[in-house]
């Protein structure tokens, strides 16, 4: 399963590193704690809508742009899930959602 | 400020209504409580990444598609924030982010 918070975290970190800024700089600008920003970047914490706006703001990117990058990354992951799975069950290949559900069941059962 | 969870909620609800499905049907399919789904749709609760995947799954939409819709909606809101502001301060018109920050300060001070 593609985890949204992980892709958001990767996208925010990539943007910060592209600007050669430290966690401390961006967390100060965004008025969030360094630890919180670090956890968000590592996909360990869900960022609230307000704090996601603040972080995008601090990075000088529009929230919509960031989400578009995230959407593009997830779309690639979704399509590769469709391509890379064994082709034994054609219905599952054409319906990646069924596989996501199966993966979710595994997580839910754990 | 554009609140991500509100746009996500509106997008999910619009998708559900377009399919003429009830909160109960979708919440059962997504294995979330009806109350939780209702709160997410109204933008009152942040959906976790796992539950957002489940809800998209239940609606039969890719997470990436849903996020693209959300990004498009937010982009429109961002650009209208840029257009509708008084043109007294050109820098602020060209930098909608400054206005988002100002709005955020108001929220933070409240």
- What is the per-residue pLDDT across B49-84, written as a single tens digit (0 to 9) for each? 999 999 999 999 999 999 999 999 999 999 988 754
Inter-chain CB proximity B64 and A49 less than 8 Å: no
B14 interfacial to chain A (CB closer than 8 Å): no
Residues from chain A contacting residue B65 (CB–CB below 8 Å): 71, 75
What residue has token string 């109204």?
B42
The average pLDDT across A42-56 equals 97
What residue has token string 């043109």?
B87
Inter-chain CB proximity A3 and B49 less than 8 Å: yes
A99 interfacial to chain B (CB closer than 8 Å): no
ipTM over 0.85: no
Cα separation values, B76 from A52, B11, B79, Å: 18, 14, 5
Q: For residue A20, give both structure tokens.
A: 């050669």
Inter-chain CB proximity B71 and A74 less than 8 Å: no
Inter-chain CB proximity B97 and A60 less than 8 Å: yes
Alpha helix segments (H runs only) across A19-84: 23-30, 34-41, 49-59, 63-84
**Residue A37: pLDDT above 70?**
yes
- Other CB atoms closer than 10 Å to residue A63's CB: what's the count? 26
Q: Which helix (H) or strand (E) holds B81?
A: helix B63-84
| Long-range pairs, A85-89, Cβ under 8 A, ≥24 | none
Q: Encode pLDDT of B11-54 as tens digits.
A: 999 999 999 999 999 999 999 999 999 999 999 999 999 999 99
What residue has token string 């976790």?
B48
B110 interfacial to chain A (CB closer than 8 Å): no
The CATH-assigned architecture of domain B4-109 is Orthogonal Bundle (1.10)
B60 interfacial to chain A (CB closer than 8 Å): yes
């Amino acid at each position: 399963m593609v985890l949204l918070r992980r892709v958001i975290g990767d996208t925010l970190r990539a943007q910060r590193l592209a600007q050669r800024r430290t966690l401390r700089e961006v967390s100060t600008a965004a008025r969030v704690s360094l630890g919180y920003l670090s956890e968000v970047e590592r996909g360990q914490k869900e960022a609230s809508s307000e704090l996601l706006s603040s972080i995008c703001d601090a990075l000088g990117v529009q929230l919509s742009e960031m989400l578009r990058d995230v959407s593009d990354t997830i779309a690639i992951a979704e399509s590769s899930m469709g391509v890379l799975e064994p082709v034994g069950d054609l219905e599952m290949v054409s319906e990646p959602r069924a596989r996501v559900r199966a993966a979710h069941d595994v997580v839910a059962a754990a």
